Structure 1
Amino acid sequence: MSDAPLYDIAEGPEGGRAFWLNAADGVRLRVGLWTHPGAQGTVLLLPGRTEYVEKYGRAAGDLRARGFATLVIDWRGQGLADRALDDPMGGHVTDFAEYQLDFDEMVGFARAQGLPEPYYLMAHSMGGCIGLRALMRNAPVKAAAFSAPMWGILIAAWMRPMAVALTTASRWFKFDSRYAPGTGAKSYVLTAPFAGNSLSTDPEMWEYMRKQALAHPELGLGGPSLGWLKAALTECHALTLLKSPAIPAMTALGSQEKIVDTAPIHTRMAVWQNGTLDLYPGAEHEVLMEGAAARARYFDTAAALFLKHR
């Protein structure tokens, strides 16, 4: 473990630090930490695909205001963590089990540093998929707060068999490092206009994301590889066959969600014991990057859940 860069673009609380870690298979990862005396616990924050530590600097401030320390991770293949492909903009893994190695290293770091307990899980999009699997592996957390979790890939029903066939063939014939159809090397927030974007309806938070991508393009990521898509489809299907863990959980979902498949979210949360589904009218994919009212609602609800389970 050694110090890693933590860029000012995070706009996080004072005293933030970042560290290099190495997963069990040797992949170098980065974590960002914001802690403070008197913290009532530590939130293990699991970002989505394409995301990075600095994007959650403001979230760390929101959590600090509610009494929590925050630990955020750069998953393998994104942020400043090691990337698997020669093309650094291509997001790639061959199996989602690789991300569990990253999560395990994150937990090991929290314990080694003596971060304030109890630990809680906060997970967005792809992080929600990784987080759900981690909970099923008995992650040492007391409660979980999800945001638009990727428990299903949004693909039209008529296209799904073709997607499965293409991604499977890509593995067989060794072209799984290629971009998935319709994607490429460009960062979404730098190419999409604010009007009609799929992430946030809040112009100020949209600009926050754009300014970060412009200031440090090395943090950005383009589209997923066919290998990543194959791994994601496999993991999402596998999770549908498993019962939800016996841990209190909440899930926030915007009514204008266009990134992940919402059906598995509704299905799972409808039967999750001690679980609640909170719908955010008008919100897009990133509730944590929406306007002040939506963000306050999310963090207040999550904090109440966490403090109830200590």
Structure 2
Amino acid sequence: MTVQPPSFFELSQENDFEETMAGPVTELWHQRQEGMFQGSNHTNIGWAALTGNNPDKAIIVVNGRIESYWKYQELFYDLVRQGYDVFALDHRGQGVSDRLAEDTELGHVGHFDDYVSDLDTFIESVVKPKGYQQLFMLGHSMGGTITSLYLARHPGTIERAVLSAPMHGININKWMRPIASPLARVMEQLQGQPSYAPGQVPYYPKPFGSNPLTQSKVRYQWFRDLYERKPELKIGGPSARWVWQGLAAAKRCISEAGNISTPVLLLQAGEDTIIDNAAHQQFHQAMVQANRDCQFKVIEGARHELLFEADTYRTPALASAFEHFRKAEIPDA
């Protein structure tokens, strides 16, 4: 007899958040494995894993800009309770990985494709040797960009993927869109060394009331408290180079979408002000026109951080993700 995993309604909830985080989540987090590998240009990339839960299937979580796997302890707890081993990495220039600029709070990257190469190295050197029959991927925001490009360039590795508010475009004022990338290139040349893009600043904890990320006060406060307890995780605004590299990568996601053979579920946050939601339609259309499997679901009323949102939005987002993954369940022997 197959043991059924917890129902979607047994996902971690805001009403019990503090108790859950202090109890079972902390207990599980203490069981994590952590390590480093060398990514492109000999950059040290940090990773974490929670294994021993399922020998057959694992989920690789690909987080967004300014994030760290430390932020996703609640999500990892929910993934483990749903019956998956979990792997995650911190991208170059953020989290516990090597920083790429003298200002350690500057969000910088040399080449966006380095993120994709690092993910490939992580999967080949850390995840695959475990011998799982099925690998799944959950990419959020910038991690959705990285996931999209990885899927397009490495077919056959990932069974199914979920893109949470993926950065297939950045929400920029219409009049700025044609000049954003060339302006960022010019600024990079004028600066001479990695520096903040115009209007960007080092890390600061934006008050909950004015934050564009989530409507969950308890989750938002936990995230901000985490970065105060571990200030080495703090990342502020992006560099000028990151801006034009990110814009170019977002466009490549759409142009390469037809090469993705992995079934994809794209989750859009209906009230997202960070990502250009119109670009999701372009990505979805590109996959469909290439006869690829891309499901599209809008979580109405949700802000950008679907995996960190209020239960009203987070629960249906995760329920849809698990439903998508379970379409590839290994049949009982």
Identity of aligned residues (%): 26
Deviation readout 1:124-175 (Å, 9 max, x if unpaired): 0000111100001125101100110000121112112332222222344453
Tell me the secondary structure at the aligned position of residue 258 of structure 1: coil
Establish whether residue 212 from structure 1 lines up as the match of residue 226 from structure 2: yes
Partner of residue 247 from structure 1, selected from 262, 270, 282: 262
> Which amino acid letter does the alignment assign opposite residue 257 of structure 1?
D
Partner of residue 284 from structure 2, selected from 269, 274, 279: 269
Q: For 1:163 and 1:276, locate their aligned partners in 2 and report how far apart those are by CA, in whole Å.
A: 30
Which stretch shows the higher mean deviation, 170-179 or 279-288? Answer: 170-179
Which residue of structure 2 lines up, in the alignment, with residue 291 of structure 1?
A: 310
> Which amino acid letter does the alignment assign opposite residue 278 of structure 1?
K
> Which amino acid letter does the alignment assign opposite residue 223 of structure 1?
G
Q: For 1:128 and 1:115, locate their aligned partners in 2 and report how far apart those are by CA, in whole Å.
A: 25
Whether the aligned pair in 1 keeps the contact of 2:148 and 2:257 (CA below 8 Å) is: no
Shift of 1:64: 0.8
> Which amino acid letter does the alignment assign opposite residue 297 of structure 1?
P
> Which amino acid letter does the alignment assign opposite residue 281 of structure 1?
E
Tell me the secondary structure at the aligned position of residue 144 of structure 1: strand
Against the structure 1 CA distance between its residues 115 and 202, is the aligned structure 2 distance closer, same or farther, given a 3 Å change threshold?
A: farther
Shift of 1:294: 2.8
Against the structure 1 CA distance between its residues 98 and 85, is the aligned structure 2 distance closer, same or farther, given a 3 Å change threshold?
A: same
Q: For 2:272 and 2:192, locate their aligned partners in 1 and report how far apart those are by CA, in whole Å.
A: 31
Aligned residue pairs, count: 300
Which stretch shows the higher mean deviation, 202-211 or 234-243? Answer: 234-243
Partner of residue 202 from structure 2, selected from 182, 185, 200: 185
Partner of residue 258 from structure 1, selected from 261, 273, 286: 273
Which residue of structure 2 lines up, in the alignment, with residue 196 of structure 1?
A: 210
Shift of 1:80: 1.0
Which residue of structure 2 lines up, in the alignment, with residue 221 of structure 1?
A: 235
Tell me the secondary structure at the aligned position of residue 110 of structure 2: coil
Q: For 1:116 and 1:103, locate their aligned partners in 2 and report how far apart those are by CA, in whole Å.
A: 17
Tell me the secondary structure at the aligned position of residue 227 of structure 1: helix
Shift of 1:207: 1.2
Which residue of structure 1 lines up, in the alignment, with residue 41 of structure 2?
A: 25
Whether the aligned pair in 2 keeps the contact of 1:144 and 1:247 (CA below 8 Å) is: yes
Establish whether residue 53 from structure 1 lines up as the match of residue 69 from structure 2: yes
Alignment RMSD (CA, Å): 2.1
Which stretch shows the higher mean deviation, 70-79 or 258-267? Answer: 258-267
TM-score, normalised on structure 2?
0.84
Which residue of structure 2 lines up, in the alignment, with residue 65 of structure 1?
A: 81
Q: For 1:12 and 1:284, locate their aligned partners in 2 and report how far apart those are by CA, in whole Å.
A: 30
Which residue of structure 2 lines up, in the alignment, with residue 309 of structure 1?
A: 328
Whether the aligned pair in 2 keeps the contact of 1:77 and 1:83 (CA below 8 Å) is: yes
The unaligned stretches of length 5 or more in structure 2 are 1-21
Structure whose CA Rg is larger: 2
Shift of 1:96: 0.8
Which residue of structure 2 lines up, in the alignment, with residue 237 of structure 1?
A: 251
Q: For 1:39 and 1:63, locate their aligned partners in 2 and report how far apart those are by CA, in whole Å.
A: 14
Shift of 1:261: 0.8
Which residue of structure 2 lines up, in the alignment, with residue 3 of structure 1?
A: none
